[in-house]
Amino acid sequence: MIRKMSTAQPLKKLVSCVILDLDGTLLNTGWKESFSVIIGGDEVRLGKPSPEIFLEVAKRLNVDPSSCLVIEDSLPGVTAGRAAGMEVVAVPSIPKQPHLYTLADEVINSLLDLRPEKWGLPPFQDWIKDTLPLEPWHIGGPVVKGFGRGSKVLGIPTANLSTEGYGSLLSEHPSGVYFGWAGLSKRGVFKMVMSIGWNPYFNNTEKTIEPWLLHNFDEDFYGEELRLIIVGYIRPEANFSSLQSLIEKIHHDRKVAEEALDLPLFSKYKDDPYLKSST
Ligand code: ADP
Ligand code: MG
């Protein structure tokens, strides 16, 4: 939960209260100092969806509930926050169920999409040129046949990788649009923009990645070893009213990625040995 303030401060100073799950693991991660109030469910009489825990926090912070923003992943938590008279941003813990969270003031796909400035809070300062830098992560393997969605027909071919063995890696990363560098063993290193989404063939239980290499190749490269370093995030997946607006958005993503990858912050990964496999 965040107490809304108007002064510009880094994120850590903003976070005023955390409500602990039973195991309290967060406290061992170095974040403890960022909170001025820490409370556990055992400190109130009624658990969520009762507003009691949130009202108790407001009291301890010495602020009015109406000037608090709650960030919640559970339905009872959203209900409790609203009942406390607070604004609530839901980050559903169950994927693809945003419609269950209608009580929330906003439903976001992941914490990557939290925009404090929408709630009268200072913005995060790590966004740069419409991108959010990430701790880089790697994925690679031979290029496989995709799902026959005809991306190439749209002028947006995506070189699919088998995600076998990468299930847990992908589950750590929310669906959405990302960018980074792509290395093809025989062809070099290229800028890349990609989406992480849900595999339509496995009843949406598995994620897929769809990297578009930002280069014109005069032939396909199925079977070749492709290595990716993902360095930043652009936006969540979205629904588009028409194919045309989807294509326009993807071209906009391309522009954002191309410009960002020229920044030293991102361009330095271009020389990473991981991209230059000889397999
Ligand atoms: P599929 O459904 O098999 O992935 P696509 O229509 O997405 O088919 O086309 C992807 C294939 O096109 C890649 O596997 C690759 O061999 C080829 N390709 C050609 N140019 C590119 C590019 N710029 N980015 C990604 N793949 C490309
Ligand atoms: Mg494809």
210 counts as catalytic: yes
Q: Could you say which ligand is closest to the alpha carbon of residue 155?
A: 1
Residues 98, 231, 159, 208, CA torsion sign: negative
| Mean pLDDT confidence for 133-158 | 88
- Fill in the DSSP letter of residue 107: E
The CATH number of 132-276 is 2.40.30.30
Determine which one of 210, 224, 237, 258 is catalytic. 210
Q: Please report, for the chain, how many H helices and E strands are present, in that order.
A: 6, 12
Tell me if 31 CB under 6 Å of ligand 1: no
What's the start-to-end Cα distance of the chain, in Å? Answer: 49
Question: What residue ranges do the domains of the chain occupy?
Answer: 2-119, 132-276
Q: Which pair of structure tokens corresponds to residue 105? A: 């003031």
**Nearby residues of 53 by Cβ (< 8 Å), 6 or more positions away:** 19, 39, 41, 43, 44, 47, 80
**Percent share of the chain, pLDDT over 90:** 61
Q: How confident is the model at residue 214 (pLDDT cuts 50, 70, 90)?
A: very high
Question: Candidates 179, 214, 221, 250: which one to mutate for ligand 1, based on the most atoms within 8 Å of Cβ?
Answer: 221
Only one residue has tokens 């290395």, namely: 183
151 lines ligand 1 (CB under 6 A): yes
Read off the pTM.
0.88
Q: Is the CB of 157 under 6 A from ligand 1?
A: yes
Alpha-carbon radius of gyration of the chain: 21
- For the purposes of burial, counting CB atoms within 10 Å of the CB of 229, is it exposed (0-12), middle (13-18) or buried (19 or more)? buried
Of the candidates 111, 173, 149, which has an alpha carbon nearest to the alpha carbon of residue 246? 149
215 lines ligand 1 (CB under 6 A): yes
Across 85-91, average pLDDT? 95
Q: Summarize pLDDT for 231-240 with one digit per residue, the tens.
A: 999 999 888 8
Residue identifier of the C-alpha nearest atom 17 of ligand 1:
220
- Given CATH 3.40.50.1000, say whether it is the number of domain 2-119: yes
For residues 179-192, average pLDDT: 96
Q: Computed from CA positions of residues 43, 46, 48, 51, in that sequence, does the dihedral angle turn out positive or negative?
A: negative
Whether ligand 1 lies within 6 angstroms of the CB of 146 is answered as yes
Distance CA 84, CA 64 (A): 10
Q: How far apart are CA 150 and CA 169, in angstroms?
A: 27
Which ligand ends up closest to the CA of 152? 1
Of 117, 187, 127, residue with least CA distance to 159? 187
